[in-house]
Amino acid sequence: MEIREKWDSRTAFIMASVGAAIGLGNVWRFPYVAYDNGGGAFLIPFFIALLTAGIPLMILEFSLGRKYQAGAPTAFAAVKKKTEWVGWLALFAVMMIFLYYPTIMAWCVNYIVHSLTLKWGADPNHFFVNEFLRKSIGPSVLGSIRWPIVIGLGIVWTAIYLILRKGVKVVGKVVKWTVAIPWAILIIMVIRGITLPGAGEGLNFYLKPDFSALLDAKVWLAAYGQVFFTLSLAMGTMIVYSSYLPKKSDVNNNAFIISLANSGTSFFAGFAVFSTLGYLAQTMNVSVPEVTNSGIGLAFITYPTAIRLLPFAGAVFGVLFFIMLLTLGIDSAFSQVEPFVAGFTDKWNLSKKWVLRIVCLGGFIIGLIFTTEGGFHWFDILDHFTCSWGLTIVGLLECIVIGYIYKTDKMRKYVNSISEFRIGKWWDFTIKILTPLILGISLILEIYSMVTDGYGGYPAWATTIGIIVVAILIVMSFVMMKIKARKENK
Ligand code: PHE
């Protein structure tokens, strides 16, 4: 077997994990999910999810990867052979994500060019939906392919391939740039946002808690799904990254640093988006929730608005901003492809080079669906089912496997023996009882509401496809478990 690559240092590991975590999930997904789920209504479940599931599961995944020095399926198989499929399910979840995630990056590539002339003008919403995407009326109308987006997608997949071909050491290096620069740019965006007229209204919507929403299962699932998405949990990423950790390296402290740095970034980016939404509401003379129904397109409406309203050098800044989104996305994107590739190479001893090539090419080709005029709808549906359903299911299963089969106290002792500070019994409680309980109840309620109301106003057949995809992935993960591993060397 090839010798497992290792990080050079603790900083390299933290940087790579922060790079995987901080991504479009913070500046694109977090604001839109928060907006769709009522702004302030979403924040409480989000922070609860972060503390009760995000940090505990990150500790769990780090220790799993570090202990077994393998990707998700192999690590779960080492816990108990019969649970290997949970690892595969995690990889199929991340596969779903890397099928659509690069699409947003492809949009960014285009927006770099559009920034030069601030082409979206005074109505970024109209520009994004009608001129750029040429969004079709519904998921049944795919329409033609949008070539500018295809070109963007090609560039993004080539970059992912080239970086991953070099191996994880490079990842640590690239990330230094992909985290620091974005933060600087984000600060400027927030300052511009909160000094716009009407910003207060938007921030009010963002920050004012709405306790009645706490009874809504959909909001809870969205919050847990977003926490998993943004921390790259329940997808094998953190398991495989920590499997590259040298023996004897801290877990607990790293998990806290990474989770808090990441959610801090989301919370901060929210200020830029919601203050601009307040401004838009004022100019359009509507309330904040009425500004747009663009969902996954929200970031492409609010940020361009703020960019155009900068006092000077809007074009330069626009270019910089979208380059930043790209750099934020790229380290996350390759951290999605890496665990998937590692899952196959670890189990069957396949050549990494070839698996990588096939996955990148396949990702590009399947991703073409999202470059069509109707692609937006499919993106929306898949994003919902992957995160609100797929990730929460995997998260729930991870808790059950470690909580009841491996046993949390055994894992806690292990992780405390290598960490800089110790975690207490509260950790066992979150993994064994609290998180499974919240996830289990929300999932059941969500399934019920999905059957009665569907999702996002899409026709029933379209949401059924979403459910079927989740079901197929579960079956496939069992199939992968059943196929025999290949131990001998090539
Ligand atoms: N956490 C990343 C983001 O917020 C996305 C991601 C998902 C990365 C899955 C790795 C694995 O953008």
Summarize pLDDT for 312-370 with one digit per residue, the tens: 788 888 998 898 889 888 888 988 998 999 889 888 888 889 999 999 999 999 999 99
Q: Which residue has the higher pLDDT, 1 or 331?
A: 331
pLDDT band at 241 (very low <50, low <70, confident <90, very high): confident
What is the mean predicted confidence (pLDDT) over 18-46?
Answer: 92
Ligand 1 centroid–CA 230 distance in Å is 5
Q: Considering the chain, what is the average pLDDT of its residues?
A: 90
Where do the domains of the chain lie?
A: 10-489
Ligand 1 centroid–CA 328 distance in Å is 10
Summarize pLDDT for 408-445 with one digit per residue, the tens: 999 999 999 988 999 999 999 999 999 999 999 988 98
Q: Which residues form ligand 1's pocket by a CB distance below 6 Å?
A: 20-21, 23-26, 94, 97, 229-230, 232, 235, 237, 332, 335-336
According to DSSP, the residues that pair with 194 across neighbouring strands are none
The best mutation among 27, 186, 229, 242 to test binding of ligand 1, ranked by most ligand atoms within 8 Å of the C-beta, falls on 229
The residue whose CA is least distant from atom 7 of ligand 1 is 232
pLDDT at 378 over 90: yes
Q: Which residue has the higher pLDDT, 293 or 209?
A: 209
pLDDT band at 12 (very low <50, low <70, confident <90, very high): confident
Ligand 1 centroid–CA 227 distance in Å is 10
Give the type of residue at 184.
A
Summarize pLDDT for 133-144 with one digit per residue, the tens: 999 999 998 999
Lowest mean pLDDT segment, chosen from 77-91, 149-163, 279-293: 279-293
What is the rounded distance in angstroms from the CA atom of residue 9 to the CA atom of residue 20? 17
CB contact at 8 A, 172 and 12: yes
What is the rounded distance in angstroms from the CA atom of residue 200 to the CA atom of residue 162? 44
The best mutation among 101, 240, 328 to test binding of ligand 1, ranked by most ligand atoms within 8 Å of the C-beta, falls on 101
Is the CATH code 3.40.50.620 the one for domain 10-489?
no
pLDDT band at 490 (very low <50, low <70, confident <90, very high): very low
Ligand 1 centroid–CA 287 distance in Å is 31
Closest by CA to 77, choosing from 436, 485, 490, 355, is 485
pLDDT band at 179 (very low <50, low <70, confident <90, very high): confident
pLDDT band at 3 (very low <50, low <70, confident <90, very high): low
Ligand 1 centroid–CA 231 distance in Å is 6
- For ligand 1, what atom is nearest to the CA of residue 26? 4
Ligand 1 centroid–CA 112 distance in Å is 22
